[in-house]
Amino acid sequence: MAPSDDLSPGSQRREADSGEDDDFACRIHRQLVDTCPDCRQAWALLAPEVRESYRHYLADAMESQTPGEPPGRRGLSSAPEAISKFRSQAEELRLLRRRAKKELSKLRRTPRDRRIDRVQNARTQFRSRMLAELLIEEARAVVREDPREAESFAGLVRHVLAWARAADGPSWAFNLFIRAEAHRANALRVQGELPVAGRVFEMLRQTLLCRPIADAPTAGELASLEASLRIDQRQFEVGRALLDRALDSFEHAGDGQATARVLIQAANLAQAEGRPQDILRHLDRAGQALGPKAPAYLWVCVVTAKVNVLCDLGRAGEAGQLLQDHLDAFEADPNPHAAAILRGLHGRVALGLGEFGKAEDYFHSAGEVLLTLDRAFDAALAALYLAETYFLTGQVEKLRRLAEKLVPIFRDRGVGGEALKALHLVHRAAAAQELTRQILENARSRLERAARA
């Protein structure tokens, strides 16, 4: 049976759990992956459906043995038949994924307040394990741009898996249920609903006390998502412990991309705590963990953070070279936000090198694009760097006009609290002709802290 099969109610197919195949061949496989770095890397590069099919092939080969036959011998001696079976399973997986993608597309087009009813009232649709996995992938993909949409997708998983009794059913269903709830909590965090997100994670911890998860990548994913919440709550020690746990899990599983994500989180934590050298160390490790086939946005995250830190440390030339070496990542990222961030980074490098005319152009254009994309906090940061450029070049009138517009523009865009206070501070200082570079740096630091929260 293909591991991501439909497993719909009434199905007579065997519900195999890839994490519990405790036979001889699987033990050998785990030993190789655990002890050989090259094997672990090769295994991680395989598509998830191929890894799942291989595990189930081992389990099926074990079950088909005659009494007294050495473990795995029958499966090894029937290689042509095994290859044919593997190809059949791979084709079945492709068909299941195609069907699940069509169902996901239907749910995207359904209004949020009607999605649960549509899933619950369907007779044959919206019931597959594959759809549950795609919903979690979708929640992860859209959480930054549309956290309410991510919350909706993650919240649908329990209804998609209702027939499998996900909370107390087979371990694969339980793992998907736990992962989906963690992503739902993360979407709540991004919306600023920190207490509600905390209660979801508390519920998950209570659930896992009764039924722990043995799957290392799932455990790492949960720790990573909760770490983001604890960092936002400024519970830095708890966040650091969770990130260490996630890092151990992903490195053990040989997942380079997940390892890089955790190291980026660790760099963000080091930034929040004011440890610039640790930021660079974490980002260097993240770059080493990413392979050449890693998504462009992960490279964009690493390079963006590293360029900013190098500029903060007065190493603008080094930052400029790093940016030049990774322009292809920004060009490959289809998100228009990446292009705007690239212009802002060019501005930071130009400012550090004293090329004020270039810096002014870069910050001005980056701010306009970011406002168009409704990235208010990023646009406000670009505006503060533009203000610093005006200050350093003595363009007093331009600085005064910009400072006057800061508060009304960003207040209307939803910037409030500590961030708006920082903009007020710049406005008052500019109006009184008392603005200093230190005031601008303090305002920028307050704005960055507010943006992280």
Tell me, yes or no, whether 62 lies in a domain.
yes
Query: Which helix H or strand E contains 224, and what residues bound it?
Result: helix 216-232
Tell me, yes or no, whether 61 lies in a domain.
yes
Tell me, yes or no, whether 202 lies in a domain.
no
Minimum mean pLDDT among 92-96, 107-111, 223-227, 236-240: which range?
92-96
With contact defined as beta carbons under 8 Å apart, do 415 and 376 qualify?
Answer: yes
- Of all residues in the chain, the percent with pLDDT exceeding 90 is 48
Domain boundary among the residues 67, 98, 129 is at 98
Q: How far is CA 16 from CA 4, 13, 21, 26, 53, in A?
A: 10, 9, 8, 13, 11
pLDDT attached to residue 352: 95
* Burial class, 114, CB count within 10 angstroms (exposed 0-12 / middle 13-18 / buried 19+): exposed
Tell me, yes or no, whether 303 lies in a domain.
no
Greater confidence, 392 or 169? 392
Q: For the chain, how far is it from start to end, CA to CA, in angstroms?
A: 45
Tokens of 271: 């930034």
Tell me, yes or no, whether 211 lies in a domain.
no
pLDDT (average), residues 424-438: 86
Tell me, yes or no, whether 281 lies in a domain.
no
Q: How confident is the model at residue 228 (pLDDT cuts 50, 70, 90)?
A: very high
Segments forming the whole domain that contains residue 421: 388-453
Q: Nearest CA to 155 among 121, 190, 199, 200? A: 200
pLDDT attached to residue 429: 87
Q: Nearest CA to 215 among 186, 249, 183? A: 249
Tell me, yes or no, whether 255 lies in a domain.
no
Q: Indicate if the pLDDT at residue 78 is higher than 50.
A: no
pLDDT tens by residue, 189-222? 998 899 999 999 999 999 999 888 888 899 999 9
pLDDT attached to residue 57: 55
pLDDT (average), residues 381-410: 90
Q: What is the pTM of this model?
A: 0.71
Domain boundary among the residues 65, 98, 131 is at 98
Task: Return the residue matching tokens 């736990």.
Answer: 178
pLDDT tens by residue, 33-62? 656 666 766 666 666 656 666 655 555 544
Q: How confident is the model at residue 425 (pLDDT cuts 50, 70, 90)?
A: confident
Tell me, yes or no, whether 287 lies in a domain.
no
Q: How many domains does the chain have?
A: 2
pLDDT tens by residue, 87-131? 666 677 788 888 999 999 999 999 999 999 999 998 888 988 999
Task: Return the residue matching tokens 């609903």.
Answer: 193
Domain boundary among the residues 43, 78, 98 is at 98
Rounded to whole angstroms, the Cα distance separating 303 from 325 reads 10
